Chains A and B, each alone.
Chain A
Amino acid sequence: MMPVLRRLGFYLGLLLFTLFAVFPIVWMVITAFKQDADLYDVANNPFLYNLPPTLKHVTFLFTGTNYPVFLWNSLFIGILVVIITLLLAVPAAYSLSRLVGHWGERSGIAIFLVYLIPPTLLFIPLYQIVTFLRAANTVWALVLVYPTITVPFCTWLLLGFFKSLPRELEEAALIDGCSRWQAFVRVALPLSLPGIATCIVFAFALSLSDYIYATVFVSSAASHTVSAGVPTELIRGDIYYWQSLMAAAAIVTIPLAVAYGLLFDRLVKGFQSDSAGSEATP
Chain B
Amino acid sequence: MSEAEASSRVGLGDRDHMLGWLMLGPSLIYIAALVGLPFFLAIALSVTSATVGDPSIHGFVGLGNFVQVLHESAFPLALRNSVIVTLGTLILTLVLATAESELLVRDFRGKRLLQILLILPWAMPVSLAAIDWLWLLDSEFSPVDWLLRHMHLLGPGSPLGPANHLYYYGKEWLGLGAIVMINVWRLLPFATIIVLAGRTSIPRDIFEQAQVDGAGFFRTLFSITLPALLPILMVASMFTALLVFGDMAVTALTTRGGPGYATQVLPYWAYLKGIDGGALSEGAAVALFMFPVLLVGAILALRMAYRTDSQGDRP
Chain A residues in the interface with B (C-beta under 8 A): 6, 10, 13-14, 17-18, 20-22, 24-25, 27-28, 31, 39-40, 42, 45-47, 87-89, 91-92, 94-96, 98-101, 104, 109, 112-129, 131, 144-145, 147-148, 151-152, 155, 167-168, 171, 174, 180-181, 205, 208-212, 216, 226-228, 230-231, 235, 240, 242, 245-246, 248-249, 252-254, 256-262, 264-265, 267-272, 275-277, 280-281
Contacts and interface: CB of A to CB of B under 8 A. Distances in A.
A89 B28 CA distance: 10
B128 A127 contact: no
Interface of B: 4, 7-8, 11-12, 15-17, 19-21, 23-24, 26-28, 30-31, 34-35, 37-39, 41-42, 45, 55, 96, 99-100, 103, 106, 108, 112, 114-129, 131-133, 135-136, 140-141, 143, 146, 185, 188-189, 193-194, 196-198, 200-201, 217, 231-232, 234-235, 238, 242, 245-249, 252-253, 266-267, 270-271, 274-275, 280, 283-284, 287-288, 290-291, 294-295, 298, 301-302, 305-306, 308-310, 312, 314
Contacts of B189: 21
B126 A100 contact: no
Given A20-B185, A180-B16, A211-B249, A256 B123 contact: yes
B35 A114 contact: yes
Given A6-B217, A17-B103, A261 B117 contact: yes
Given A17-B118, A27-B136, A209-B125, A275 B198 contact: yes
Contacts, number: 327
Contact of A280 (B21, B24, B309): B309
23 contacts: A21-B121, A22-B120, A47-B143, A91-B27, A92-B23, A95-B19, A95-B20, A95-B23, A99-B21, A117-B291, A151-B27, A174-B11, A212-B249, A249-B129, A254-B120, A257-B117, A257-B119, A257-B123, A260-B122, A268-B196, A269-B197, A277-B308, A281-B309
A87 to B, nearest CB: 8
Contacts of B106: 10
A46 B248 contact: no
B19 A99 contact: yes
Nearest to A258: B116
Contacts of B121: 21, 24-25
A269 B198 CA distance: 10
Contact of B116 (A112, A249, A262): A262
Given A246-B135, A280-B305, A280-B310, 8 more contacts: A17-B99, A25-B121, A47-B143, A91-B27, A152-B31, A211-B127, A246-B132, A249-B131
Interface centre among B39, B123, B234, B302 (most CB of A within 10 A): B123
B308 A39 contact: no
Contact of A124 (B42, B238, B252): B42
B19 A121 contact: no
Chain A interface mostly: helix
A276 B37 contact: no
A129 B284 contact: no
**4 smallest A-B Cβ distances: which pairs?**
A99-B20, A118-B246, A261-B116, A125-B41
Q: Which of A117, A171, A210, A240 has the most CB of B within 10 A?
A: A117
Given A128-B41, A212-B271, A228-B127, A260 B119 contact: yes
Given A21-B185, A100-B21, A261 B112 contact: yes
A268 B197 contact: yes
A84 to B, nearest CB: 9
Contacts of B295: 116
Contact of B132 (A20, A24, A122, A167): A24
B191 to A, nearest CB: 11
Contacts of B120: 21-22, 25, 253-254, 257, 261
- Secondary structure of the B contact surface, majority rule: helix
A98 B38 CA distance: 30
A95 B25 CA distance: 10
Contacts of B284: 124-125
Given A120-B248, A264-B119, A276-B305, A155 B141 contact: no
Contacts of B114: 14, 18
A120 B128 contact: no
B12 A268 contact: no
A2 to B, nearest CB: 9
A260 B231 CA distance: 25
Given A17-B103, A95-B24, A98-B20, A151 B197 contact: no
Given A125-B42, A271-B197, A226 B132 contact: no
A100 B96 CA distance: 40
Contact of A122 (B28, B42, B201): B42
B305 A116 contact: no
Contact of A24 (B31, B185, B217): B185
B296 to A, nearest CB: 11
Contact of B31 (A27, A151, A240, A252): A151
B164 to A, nearest CB: 8
